[in-house]
Amino acid sequence: MNTLGELERSVLEHLWAVAGPVTATRLRDDFADRGLALTTVHTVLTRLEQKGFVSHDEARPRQFRARGTREDHVADLMHEVLGQAGDRQAALARFVGSVGDDEVRMLRELLAGAGDDAANR
């Protein structure tokens, strides 16, 4: 299945795996089993660049590399979702918000207390 989204994921994972700059032609050859046209590879790379996952240098031919590791991107996202900075609102429905240590202790006691009540009844 060669949907654009799926291709983007495959190309990005490939760039993460090789961990060095790669030309578009080399990428096309690496994905030879999928029979991608060079224009398709360029489309995918451009889209990844627009989303901030890939950058290229000014060499000829252009070399593409991944910006940041998978872990970097996950960490960024988690920081946004967990932290108070920026548009935390966007991920409205975080299951439980941030809680301090004292409150955690109190919550545990609440839960334990309710368990005892149920057992005593």
Partner 1 sequence: MPGTTPRTGDLTVLPATALALGVLAALLAWPVPAALAHARWVRRDPLVALVCWQAIGLAGGLSIIGALLVHGLAPWGHSLPEAWWHWVTRQPALEPVRGDHWVAQTLAAVLACELLGVLLLSGVRTARTRRRHRQLLELVVRPGEPTADTETLLLDHPAPVAFCIPGVRPLLVLSSGMVEELDGPQLDAVVAHERAHLAEHHHLLLLPFVAWRAALPVLPAADRAHDAVRDLVEMRADDVALTASAGPEPRRTLAAAIVAVAAGAGGQLPAGALAVTGGAVAVRVRRLLAPARPLPALARWAALVCAVALLLVPTVLLVLPALL
83 binds partner 1 (CB under 8 A): yes
Q: Could you tell me which stretch among 20-28, 30-38, 55-63, 112-120 binds partner 1 (CB under 8 A)? A: 112-120
Instruction: Give the shortest CB-83-to-partner 1 separation in angstroms.
Output: 5
2 binds partner 1 (CB under 8 A): no
DSSP the chain: ---HHHHHHHHHHHHHHH-S-EEHHHHHHHTGGGT--HHHHHHHHHHHHHTTSEEE-SSSS-EEEESS-HHHHHHHHHHHHHSSSS-GGGSTT-SS----HHHHHHHHHHHHHHHHHHHH-
Q: 24 or 44: whose CB is closer to partner 1?
A: 44
Q: Could you tell me which stretch among 21-29, 32-40, 57-65, 100-108 binds partner 1 (CB under 8 A)? A: 100-108
